[in-house]
Amino acid sequence: LLSAKLAFSQSTDLDPHSFNLSYVTLPPKPVLDRVNRTFKVTVNEYKAEQAKIAQDYIEENSGIDGFKKVSSNGYFEIVFNLENSISNLEEVRKSVVVVKDSNGKERVENIYTNVFKCKDFGSYSVVCASDPSFNKKYSLERTYTVENSFSSQAEANSYGLLSPGALRDSYLANIISNIESRLNRDYGFIVEQTSDYLWILDSKKHPEHENSMKSLSTIQAVFNKMHYDEDIAPLKVELEPVIKYFEGLDKVYIGDEKKHRKLRYESYYDLAVIYHYLDMPDESDIWCQKLIANKYDESDGEGIKLKNESLRELLAVNQVKTRHMDVELRSNGLDDVVVDVANF
């Protein structure tokens, strides 16, 4: 049993300590029925052979987390309208560098750099015949720079055009990046294996140091057991002694001096974070309010409150009470296996 002990003149240094997490990031535009979480890819391009290359690449390298990629009859059809990228040689930049040979002798070398200005075009769209509210168009347009360096002016001149293959490879890579950062964030159920941190008293002579470190060890051990697809109710039970300990600190350290406020900060911050990752945003908000009122790094309380509000919205729109659930894991290529949802 952990209990707080009143401190008088000891220093109160707080240090961050990490702990592991595993959960599903919920989408703001969810397909609620898991059996409908399928999609197929269609590529439209004016050259058929180029369309086949692009389709194969996209099918092999892209995905929506929580969805199955199928060859036909997908709930979503992701339609790509691709266009040729363009590049223009903007300048040949000359620079001088000093290099040393194996004997340490210095020599001057000229470097000639071709600077190309490139632009991608095209777009892709989510098309859902069953529910057009999911339909959305994404632009693939972007402007970027490519630089290729050579040791002579003649060599630089001979490569005054950027190869179509290089442009195509860059275009396809941009498509995959765009899907990950936009499409997947809108609709995907993304499994997160990540970490966050707590603030823990690290002043060894302070009477709360031992209990703070024991609390940290318990928290780290319990959250190490967290899995994105398993119920977290048992973890809440295991954390009850730690929660009670932190809840009791502000009953002992009631003064307005900075040392007391730092101890209360430790308890308020850690409780707010623990409850947030136990999918209890309302309980987390209670400690956020105390964190703000404590007037020691109040912005931390505001930041966690914003995370809690986002979590509440996502739980509501996904019609769930937790971020821990079984979801379809991503695989490359096509997969037409029927999803077993009997126990979902």
Report the pLDDT value the prediction gives residue 333, as an integer from 0 to 100. 52
Average pLDDT, the chain: 91
pLDDT digits (tens, 9 = 90+) for 196-238: 999 999 888 899 999 999 999 999 999 999 999 999 999 999 9
Report the pLDDT value the prediction gives residue 180, as an integer from 0 to 100. 93
Q: Is 262 helix (H, G, I), strand (E, B) or coil?
A: helix
Q: Is 213 helix (H, G, I), strand (E, B) or coil?
A: helix
Report the pLDDT value the prediction gives residue 332, as an integer from 0 to 100. 53
Separation CA 31–CA 187 (nearest Å) = 7
When pLDDT is averaged across residues 107-120 and rounded to a whole number, the result is: 94
pLDDT digits (tens, 9 = 90+) for 49-70: 888 899 999 999 999 999 999 9
183: its two tokens: 């499409």
When pLDDT is averaged across residues 78-97 and rounded to a whole number, the result is: 94
Of 105-109, 130-134, 322-326, minimum mean pLDDT range: 105-109
When pLDDT is averaged across residues 171-185 and rounded to a whole number, the result is: 95
How far, CA to CA in Å, does 47 sit from each of 25, 55, 176?
38, 12, 20
Report the pLDDT value the prediction gives residue 245, as an integer from 0 to 100. 97
Separation CA 5–CA 318 (nearest Å) = 44
pTM over 0.75, yes/no: yes
**Among 318, 324, 321, which Cα is nearest to 231's?**
324
Q: Which of left, alpha, beta for 66 (phi over 0: left; psi -120 to 50: alpha)?
A: left
Q: Which of left, alpha, beta for 106 (phi over 0: left; psi -120 to 50: alpha)?
A: beta
When pLDDT is averaged across residues 2-16 and rounded to a whole number, the result is: 66
C-alpha neighbours within 13 Å on the C-beta side of residue 66 = 32
Separation CA 251–CA 4 (nearest Å) = 9
Separation CA 314–CA 245 (nearest Å) = 31
Is the pLDDT assigned to residue 341 strictly greater than 70? no
Q: Which residue has the higher pLDDT, 233 or 4?
A: 233
Report the pLDDT value the prediction gives residue 98, as an integer from 0 to 100. 87
CA 7 to chain centre: 40
How many CB atoms lie under 10 A from the CB of residue 242? 21
pLDDT digits (tens, 9 = 90+) for 297-320: 999 999 999 999 999 999 999 999
When pLDDT is averaged across residues 178-206 and rounded to a whole number, the result is: 95
**Among 129, 127, 134, 122, which Cα is nearest to 186's?**
134
How far, CA to CA in Å, does 9 sit from each of 12, 47, 256, 257, 260?
9, 78, 14, 11, 11
* Strand 106-120 with 68-69, pairing: unpaired
Return the residue matching tokens 């399928």. Answer: 38
- Give bridge partners of residue 89 from the DSSP assignment: 116
Separation CA 262–CA 148 (nearest Å) = 54
When pLDDT is averaged across residues 146-158 and rounded to a whole number, the result is: 93
Is the pLDDT assigned to residue 339 strictly greater than 70? no
pLDDT digits (tens, 9 = 90+) for 261-301: 999 999 999 999 999 999 999 999 999 999 999 988 999 99
Separation CA 21–CA 235 (nearest Å) = 12
